[in-house]
Structure 1
């Protein structure tokens, strides 16, 4: 087990002298610090040098962790998460002191914001399936936060951070107090902290204000200004407009008529709306936390222990203004051309071309980005509490026992601003024939809307159509467990270690969306939500054994076997087994080979099983779009089977890059299974004290992975295109279309239909050198990614995203090479440290998608990111024996994220940042 501080090798001797310890990856106490699972530890020294108040930042520096959500995210539910191996946050199990933490959402994923870094003694990370040891969810690995205890005295601290641009401020104040009682038989520790993080929007950074798309100009790939097709100026569209000519002589396409400042005309691609400046680059957050930890020796052989924590936080996520479209939301919508705000020339144009019955109602839809009322906001208030009580003691001089009870709850109140009342929006478009400035609806509050042009809505119009919506989520967890660990007896090669245990756990949650969502009466960050409530419980038995077979022989310093199994009986998925087999071989002191095979399982969580229908809007491309690459077979299938009107098929284009889809739960889901192989070596040569090298190969394969039907909308479209027949189950959802042929609310409910695979090589070097009065410490931790394969459904070709980013086929950055290294000069009272984070080049994921499908490689103006280097400088000065000050500069050279190709979880969107702080112990 390698420490993530300056040198793991330095930490070995003290650990060995202290006797048996427990390492992540096994519950069996061992006389060494090396697990047979590849393990990294973020140690106390690294936590101090990182000088961060965001727990996810401690993990994002690990090459094995693909960045999850965090401070720079602006989607999801506002949580900070960890995603080992890029296999998904639901497949990474997060523990505190080896026990579960209640999730922050119905998928059970833990919000790392609930764990203040200043209370963390170390973070142990084991990668690869660990279900046999810890249970479900540990398919990609386990992150275990070991908290400080046995604290005496009073410690206060604080820090302040700001960016080079004078924004992105961070404030932190904390207090820890503790002491022994009952003549040293007990210890009690209280920790409290307050943290405040400011908001930064995209408009504050040049790289975040640009919206470009790929295009081919004169046969060469270029980037051109673009944007979202739902604009704040508004458009009207419909089949009857296609092919008509605007006042400029331009032909109107499927995108319709645009309300430009100079007057109405045919929509142009350059008219798209750039929403980037309006979204968060740094989510604001306020967090108050308090924790109480302690223990008391009831007898000489029995110790009572407890952990309690409460966290209250407020988080804001901001998106661009709501994109409102009558298509799909207002059935049978027609535009009333008596609207007094309509340009008279356009009224005449629509009347002569579309109003054949003379009723002043024409069959066109309207799109409008409702910028007038501001952005869509999500203001979340979170209340998290958790407590653990237990007893532990000695069963014999070789065996220890423990029993515990663990309970937690998270309540999230999400107030979403910038929502639109759909019925009111519709009412505002139908005028009273006797007075066009009044509505035809009986609602006395109704106001006729003026959606024709930028900032055209008056305050009265805004008040009539806007609303806030409130969703409430409650997640509860209960866990009870008992275990016996230690050694059974001693063989000639050493102690036979065991761990036996039983656990019972119940997970329950409820999502209560705003009734306006439930009734389909409002649109904001979602467009229709259903209540979700459900629970499951699981009873488990597990056992592990470690058997040293040979030792202290010529050519065999140590040969040992390790095994484990867990039986889990789920109320939903039924009975499942997980297990592990492996061992170690050391031919001589200083070199060890290790290997492990693990079968892991993950049972479906509450949201995967029971979630109601939820509207999403993924990026996707409809193969029915007219163009030179569309085949005659595709054209005919789109008309005859998928419902595209024959009148528009030759000019048909989807209205938006994002297409509405419906996701939801499936109570018939079964468990996922994975097979993990790891083999590696640990080198600690006696001739080079303080040096350690570890190298491990890993391979993780997941079968029956749970995901949206077909692996998502684009995968479903691709699968249908591969076999264009309504007998193909992937074509059936694509029949959900508006009368003019646009895909909407495509049903994509959860299914055990996907496969995933990750493989690569982890490597790590640790070294500390004594300079006489000072020392130099160095570590390098890296990974080489061989495969990152996903297959959304059996009919779709697998996509290998190793070395790629984004593009619809790949999500987060998956560079082949990634490493972090740190050099620290440790003097008597001063530490100076330089950290280097390297993220290798990643190509556009559209290239990976094309390779998988056999399509031509797209011509792209920016096909890859290039290598990215970040340097972080930190210093810590002990002013007195009990006080210190520290300072750090993150992103020392102010490296911007790679232009155009980046996602903000992996790359730094804020830029150079400064932090100063202090600690004082009394």
Structure 2
């Protein structure tokens, strides 16, 4: 390893020296490739199929009324991106979604989340067409996008449902592929971190040719990628220890209470006991489990992908075309070992692994008769008699001396290894069609497609609760009461390592979950120039009209282990069988009406309108149906060629997806830092005590209830067959300026506003807690908001066996509302700087910034639509807010070109963010009730988020890239990412949701890998 690091550092020094060719001016200049990319790509595609994102009308002379951010092929090359999610995650205005930086919560796919409205509220397109989704939620897996063949990526903000159908509430991401590719291009790249891990290897080969005198073209692209894991800890000391956000900094014993050696939740208000380190006795719970070293910042990933497309002009003005894609992806998530997470178990007093000291304590404290309230303990004589008693006498009769202990077991089975979920996804999507000209001005396009996605999750090294319970009922060290399945008695009373390989093999097994989705589509469009024009306009009225049919089907099927609640220790809930589908019949139309042009005060004035009518037929009992209508109006006005005003107003719709309609209610996990019933608070409030008991907490544990383990509480949730579509109003207004007095400069500024009504949502954990515990009264103990919360029958907490602990209750409904608004600013400039060092010099600059004014959520807007009822998450983080969404962020690229060499610096910046105000206020109230000392000050006593975790300062990252055109056919690109090795902020691991708050930081929002090096070589003919 030392040799590897030394060679890496030497390579880094050489890389940086090459990258600085051209002098320090490259670092001081402002630059960008966005505008340059767009200009070059527009020119390159002038004679090819025109794809205008946001419109069905394909006329290059008509300018867009909606803001579209474009990421060109050059920018993708400079970033050396291996996955589309990596790029989209860093766009100003986007919020990190599930991707390679998400480990615990990654379902084997990568998604995009525009404007923080959720990854299920946007559409991902390929050349303007839908592709098969990867899950029951209807989301497209970005791992399947063939980046090697992508010419540009358009990101359209705001609703686009009238153009593309349901789901496009927050916008559209449209990947445009290279058309009429001819030649061969082979690229090989390698990336690695400065610490010698996280290696990423990628190779792509693209071949294309024109044939039959240019009447046809065919292209094939093949790709392979292999990405290695990066573990928490090691050379990244900020993530070595599990830090509880709700505790003092670096306090011993932080982590999970499901630990090793075993912890026993005795019940009856007794202090939890833990097997002593030497395995001979029991002690008051003393050591939590540090799960960080088992988790990863970068998930292992392997991909084989193939993409082909072809077209052929079969007759004058008639062309047939087809494209097909296949992708085989494998993603692995690696988390801490499985175990028994607070489930109730029964152990004979005569268990052969129990020491005399352990038996004596349990006889005096543990419950031996759960059917009677309170802990029913044993006398010394009863304990002695039971210590050797078998369940049955020699004649088969029940032994009257036989006794059993019942308690909650928390045992981390380190001996079985980490929990691994292997997700293998195979995606096939094929489209074919015919297009041509009806007249010189009117075109048609008819196409059909079929796509399938199959994702198999293989769950490894998980402990089976039923096997544990069977193995604890042991008659000797070699035999169980029930000998089925080749039972091997289990030792939970020894030190860490006391579970042998034979025991481990018996209590653990693999499980599988299969998820299949299908999408069939047929679409027909007629578009063109009507031949009618305004007397004041140079362009005619353009139109598009057509019809579309889509059929979605999705299934989830699990084996008996995966679908049994609580069976897989630490699986986060059962995976029930799901089967559903729906059909959509649509008709749509769009008009672009140039009103005037080349007149005094009106260089260009254009109005747009569009409408789409949809009919949904759900594949369910009774075949329920519903109809939706979406529409848009928009316009542009350019008083002079240098300046343009644009705006649009849209009514968008999102229909419920298969998961929301057909998922049964089940118990899983959510995030919750504190519990109002924890600690001493219920002892000082009769109303609070009554509520805690009404929720299922035993009366004798009041005053001893603990906070949710590792910040995770149970939640019972699921789909709702009665939810209907959600609607949104979206509008934007902006300015575009391309001043003639400054050639090469362009800029735009746009305001956007999106409001979603009847949102299909589940309340946040904070909302569910507040609905019950805010404004408590004597009647609260019988209110549904309180009694729907179900507690652990042993500990009274909100975590434990999902078979007995329902936790919070949050089923989907149409009661929610979402709102967001903000401003996008985009600037670009490119100019020649003459001859430098004998080479023609060029300088380019781009700035892409976003200011998010608001990002609000109201779980019950139907009942209370007031502003005070909305939860604000912009610039704030907590378990209620998911990924971090800063108020202001930008990316700025500066590129200096000298002949065959480009030196480019990318600067990414996000502003300071803080812990959520509403959650902090709620925590403070609960901490005060619980009798914590100085909860708002510097000594939070575990009742509040540590003051040092309540803010994250503004952050900057710099990426330096040098590209060499070694020859006409060969170029080399070398990069240093996170140039100054900026460390991520430390906020503990329980301040936010598990998916995005891991390793004591937010690894999707802040670079946790540190300085990385990349090199790629491209050969083209």
Q: Structure 2-normalised TM-score?
A: 0.84
Structure (1 or 2) with the greater strand fraction = 1
Corresponding residue number in structure 2 for 1:283? 299
Per-residue CA deviations over 1:75-105 (Å, capped at 9, x if unaligned) read 2212121110111111110000100011111
Q: Is residue 410 of structure 1 aligned with residue 453 of structure 2?
A: yes
1:777 aligns with 2:847: no
- For residues 567-582 of structure 1, what are the structure 2 equivalents within 5 Å? 567-572=613-618, 574-582=626-634
**2:709 matched to 1:653?**
no
3-state SS, counterpart of residue 47 of structure 1: helix
Q: Does 2:120 correspond to 1:50?
A: no
Aligned pair partner of 1:664 in 703, 718, 722 = 718
Instruction: Give the CA deviation at 1:914.
Output: 1.0
Instruction: Name the residue aligned to 2:5.
Output: none
- Correspondence for 1:274: 290
Q: Offset at 1:128?
A: 0.8
Kept in 2, the 8 Å contact 1:214–1:861? The answer is no
1:693 aligns with 747
Q: Give yes or no for the alignment of 1:490 onto 2:512.
A: no
Alpha-carbon distance, 1:538 to partner: 0.4
SS of corresponding position for 1:424: helix
Please tell me whether the aligned partners of residues 341 and 570 of structure 2 are also in contact (alpha carbons under 8 angstroms).
Answer: no
- Separation of aligned partners in 1, 2:194 and 2:1006: 17
Match in the other structure for 2:820: 758
- 1:592–1:461: structure 2 CA closer, same or farther, 3 Å change rule? same
Alpha-carbon distance, 1:21 to partner: 4.8
Q: Is 1:40 aligned with 2:110?
A: no
Match of 2:237 among 200, 203, 206: 206
SS in 2 for 1:659: strand
Q: Mind listing any 5+ residue stretches in structure 1 that lack a counterpart?
A: 244-251
Corresponding residue for residue 249 of structure 1: none
Give the match's secondary structure for 1:69.
coil
Aligned counterparts of 1:12 and 1:310: Cα–Cα separation in 2: 26
The counterpart of 1:604, out of the listed 645, 656, 665, is 656
CA change 1:38–1:95 in 2 (3 A) is same
Shift of 1:485: 1.8
Q: What SS is found at the alignment partner of 2:883?
A: coil
Q: Cα gap change, 1:765/1:837 in structure 2, threshold over 3 Å: closer, same or farther? A: same
**Structure 2 counterpart SS, 1:820:** strand
Aligned 8 A contact 2:33 2:893 in 1: no
Kept in 1, the 8 Å contact 2:747–2:828? The answer is yes
> Equivalents in 1 of 2:429, 2:38: separation in Å?
35
The answer to whether the aligner puts 1:232 opposite 2:278 as a matched pair is: no
CA contact (8 A) 1:233 1:260 kept: yes
What is the Cα deviation at residue 116 of structure 1? Answer: 2.4
Aligned equivalent of 1:791:
858
- CA 1:630–1:185 in structure 2 vs 1: closer, same or farther (change >3 Å)? farther
> C-alpha separation between the residues in 2 aligned to 1:679 and 1:170?
42
Residues 102-159 of structure 1 show CA distances to partners (whole Å, capped at 9, x for unaligned) of 1111111111111121110110110111111111111111000111121112222211
Distance 2:1020 2:46 in 1: 28
After superposition, residues 805-824 of structure 1 pair within 5 angstroms as: 805=877, 807-824=878-895
Distance, in Å, in 1 between the alignment partners of 2:691 and 2:478 is 42
Q: Which residue of 2 aligns with 1:544?
A: 590
CA distance 1:715–1:418, shift in 2 (3 Å)? farther
Task: Name the residue aligned to 2:9.
Answer: none
Alignment length, in residue pairs? 896
Q: 3-state SS of the aligned residue for 1:411?
A: strand
User: What is the deviation of 1:304?
Assistant: 0.8
Deviates more, 1:71-80 or 1:120-129: 71-80
Instruction: Tell me whether 1:116 sits opposite 2:146 in the alignment.
Output: yes
8 Å CA contact 2:765, 2:880 repeated in 1: no
Aligned equivalents of 1:639, 1:190: Cα separation in 2: 63
Q: Which residue number in structure 2 is paired with residue 525 of structure 1?
A: 571
Match of 1:443 in 2: 484
1:336 to 348, 352, 356: 348
Please give the per-residue CA displacement for 1:829-854, whole angstroms capped at 9, x wherever unaligned: 22111111112221123x34235899
Number of the residue aligned with 1:622: 675
**CA–CA distance in 2 between the matches of 1:20 and 1:272?**
61
**Alpha-carbon distance, 1:356 to partner:** 2.8
- Deviation of 1:34 (Å): 4.1
Greater shift in the superposed pair: 731-740 or 360-369: 731-740
Q: Note closer, same or farther for the CA distance 1:9–1:645 as it changes in structure 2 (3 Å cut).
A: closer
| Counterpart position of 1:101 | 131
Equivalent residue, structure 2, for 1:375? 418
CA distance in 2, matches of 1:662, 1:645: 20
Deviates more, 1:791-800 or 1:295-304: 791-800
Change (3 A) 1:3 1:751: farther
User: Equivalent residue of 1:718, what SS?
Assistant: helix
C-alpha distance in 2 between matches for 1:315 and 1:149: 31
CA contact under 8 A between 2:253 and 2:289: conserved in structure 1? no
In structure 2, the CA distance between the partners of 1:339 and 1:416, relative to structure 1 (3 Å rule), is: same
Q: Mark the CA change 1:35 to 1:261 in structure 2 (over 3 Å): closer, same or farther.
A: farther
Q: Which moved more, 1:643-652 or 1:683-692?
A: 643-652
Residues 1:897 and 2:984 are matched in the alignment = yes
CA pair 742-535 structure 1, distance change in 2 beyond 3 A: same
- Residue 619 of structure 2 is aligned to residue 565 of structure 1: no
Distance 1:714 1:256, change over 3 A: farther
SS of aligned partner of 1:89: coil
Write out aligned runs for 1:213-228 (5 A): 213-214=244-245, 226-228=254-256
Contact 1:223 1:861 in 2 (8 A): no
Corresponding residue for residue 385 of structure 2: none
| Farther off after superposition, 536-545 or 451-460 | 451-460
Partners of 2:683 and 2:849 in 1: CA distance: 45
Name the residue aligned to 2:690.
Answer: 637
Q: Which of 287, 293, 296 is the aligned partner of 2:309?
A: 293
Question: Which one has more relative contact order, counting CA pairs under 8 Å at least 6 apart?
Answer: 2
Does structure 2 retain, via aligned residues, the 8 Å contact 1:6–1:45? no
Does 2:338 correspond to 1:322?
A: yes
Pairing 1:9-158 to 2, within 5 Å after superposition:
10-11=39-40, 14=43, 21-32=50-61, 34-74=63-103, 75-158=105-188
Tell me which residue corresponds to 1:458. 500
**Corresponding residue to 1:877 among 957, 960, 964:** 964
Q: What is the alpha-carbon distance in structure 2 between the residues aligned to residue 213 and residue 60 of structure 1?
A: 27
Contact 2:695/2:788, CA 8 A, preserved across alignment: no
SS in 2 for 1:349: helix
CA displacement at 1:741 relative to structure 2: 2.9
Aligned residue among 762, 772, 779 for 1:720: 772
Q: 698-707 vs 642-651, which deviates more?
A: 642-651
Which consecutive residues of structure 2, in runs of 5 or more, have no partner in the other structure? 1-30, 367-376, 383-401, 619-624, 799-804, 835-839, 929-935, 937-943, 989-1000
Is the alpha carbon distance of 1:768 and 1:713 closer, same or farther for their aligned partners in structure 2, counting shifts above 3 Å? same
Q: Quick one: structure 1 residues 61 and 659, their matched pair in 2 at CA, closer, same or farther if it must change by over 3 Å?
A: closer
Q: TM-score, normalised by structure 1?
A: 0.93
Preserved contact between residue 691 and residue 781 of structure 2 (Cα < 8 Å): no
Alignment of 1:803 with 2:865, yes or no, is no
- The residue number in structure 2 matching 1:247 is none
1:509, CA displacement in angstroms? Answer: 0.9
CA RMSD of aligned residues (A): 2.5
Q: Is residue 2:356 matched to residue 1:356?
A: no
Partner of 1:246: none
Match of 1:248 in 2: none
Alignment of 1:398-437 (within 5 A): 398-432=441-475, 435=476, 437=478
Which of 679, 696, 703 is 2:733 aligned to?
Answer: 679
* Residue 919 of structure 2: aligned partner: 849
Contact 1:592 1:682 in 2 (8 A): yes
Report how far residue 58 of structure 1 moved. 2.5
Report the Cα distance in structure 2 between the residues aligned to 1:17 and 1:427, rounded to whole angstroms. 71
Which residue is equivalent to 1:826? 897
In 2: Cα distance, 1:19 partner to 1:184 partner: 12
Measure the CA separation in 1 of the matches of 2:664 and 2:335. 23
Question: Where does residue 509 of structure 2 map in the other structure?
Answer: 467
Instruction: State the 1:216 CA deviation.
Output: 7.0
Distance 1:68 1:216 in 2: 28
